Amino acid sequence: GAGVSQTPSNKVTEKGKYVELRCDPISGHTALYWYRQSLGQGPEFLIYFQGTGAADDSGLPNDRFFAVRPEGSVSTLKIQRTERGDSAVYLCASSSTQGATEAFFGQGTRLTVV
Amino acid sequence: DAKTTQPPSMDCAEGRAANLPCNHSTISGNEYVYWYRQIHSQGPQYIIHGLKNNETNEMASLIITEDRKSSTLILPHATLRDTAVYYCIVSPTSGTYKYIFGTGTRLKVLA
């Protein structure tokens, strides 16, 4: 079956612009995670959804970052007034429930802010 | 900060066992050890996890010391496709969680 799908795979935007990154989790997965990965670093947790609600958004770096999951499946990460420091690979992961032992990651969206 | 320490890089000959160490000296009694790997330009992939006992699956074996302060991931017969960054993660639950990744070990399998 299909894995976690992230679109676009690459996004180049100008400093100050608004961007949306989309994540389609595996069908039926209730838990969804967003991570950010800078070059040479491990992924850094941003936000976790259980169903439609954000159960933990403690990793969002500031109020320019926001994520939604209105119907409990697709999620969108939104970044306002992008800065060059936002350039990174944004990864999405899903698992069948919070109790599942394995998270499935997408291939990520590479965001470049110029 | 990550609760684990791993060597930044390792090489392994193709067909030989790759033994990747991880130190987690501050691990709590109810925390699990997870391993993920990330092949270039892909998202991380789950390998294995354990609490106290050694674990084995189709991908790898996980050996956890008796005091649980360190562990070793073993790939019994490394192939070129195993070249990746391997992350050792300590998690407070056996379920998926907001993992704290370190910088991992970059394993290079040599032909």
pLDDT at B95 over 70: yes
Least confident of A101-105, B72-76, B84-88: A101-105
* B96/A contact by beta carbon, under 8 A: yes
How many A×B Cβ pairs under 8 Å? 62
Q: Is it the case that residue B81 has pLDDT exceeding 70?
A: yes
- Please name the residues in contact with B58: beta carbons below 8 A apart, sequence gap of 6 or more: none
- In chain A, the percentage of residues whose pLDDT exceeds 90 is 93
User: How much is the average pLDDT of A16-39?
Assistant: 96
The whole-angstrom separation of Cα B3 and Cα B90 is 6
Min Cα–Cα distance to chain A from B97, Å: 7
| B101 vs B90: CA distance, rounded Å | 9
